[in-house]
Structure 1
């Protein structure tokens, strides 16, 4: 690998491994290298790595990160990606006035939705959408969805996939309550990201250290779901085991949390953040919303 790419600096680290900014020696082009080290060499390539590589090789869209090359590094694999400037989390931190820039927010949100709609059209769930996994080309105002380490293909009928996906603050209520799930989990995450862009909080809308904390934050905003608002919810294992501690009073208001988004923007945000996943707006329908025409 060193013969072809020169490591410049580490730009990210997580449970998967380390991401470096690199220079391709032959072209002088900057790329990103995601180094994954296999913990158990005797077990071969982990299924999650195989899944990520195969999904990224299948996807080809302007708002999804491009996988350029896969290299065996002896102890694992190096995934070579196109390199962008920074992620959305760092962009919001360095540009706090984004909450007032409606056109930039619309542009970013539209691109995120286009990428998500494309994934869903290929029956692929991302399952970890968050600002840190959205990369930005600052000069061209381009957003690309990255990190498909938790992504997977899905089929019909739905299977019981693991609910230990999505970073906690962006985890949909059906995941927190142990329900079967599909594409609406990604839509909830996008709604949380949208809210983060249009508020002045610069932190997740539903912040918490545990699943229960996050669930309580959600219920304090929208109320505890009932059979009338979410058919079948009271039969979910998470509802049954936690119901005794559910709050009875709604103390927060979505409109108050995002005062600058406007009535039309609030309508779109409300359609993304609906507790009942069957009523949550799809990515393709969201792109047709009046918010993008004003």
Structure 2
């Protein structure tokens, strides 16, 4: 019986020591509490308290749950290594509130909010790359991209606790394509392709085409993307049920920006001088428009 009690005590001690992913040192440093509340977005996705004081009221938290499904919180130390990483789901009772404790020092704090039911591995919270000004310290991957919000800032922790409200920025743009003429009579699938910014192309969006779709005018495609900067070409490829390419339409000089909807409107039939009209929609920012 004594041996059994001793074994149980050792097992409990082992499980407790493995619960947190932190190194145990002989002399533990003084820890300081970090408290953050994510309650709204700078683009006003969801209501902002009219008084200007952002709180954790039920109404604000409910709007946050309507806007995003997952929240990620990551802290990096001066060696650019991950110090802590916390994930929250909208079903969690404390959704939008993060508490952590770290020793005094300089840190980089990153928040990411993602809208969508599936986790496509949006975050790679490993060592931070200081030379990557765009994504540092977080790496994203998605197929297809969903709505993503982010905030990154430097933090110096001294002899006091830190409490702060965080407002996230939408980092994706939205591309909407309106096709005003008839789709190919045998089209069963459409793939949207454009450059990935690294010298190649990728297909961020594809959709099955039904008989009802072929009878719908205008036919519309809408998806999020991370493209910004120089104009690029969007290519629409239509395939039949045997996956044979039946029509290709290239739309040049398209621009996208974070928090901006780009609307492409036009015909896909190979007619002389056919163009897409490009406009910017500012449900988020200011809309873009272009003919093709």
Fold shared per TM-score above 0.5: no
The TM tier, using the shorter chain, reads under 0.3
Choose between structure 1 and 2: higher strand proportion: 2
- TM-score, normalization by structure 1: 0.25
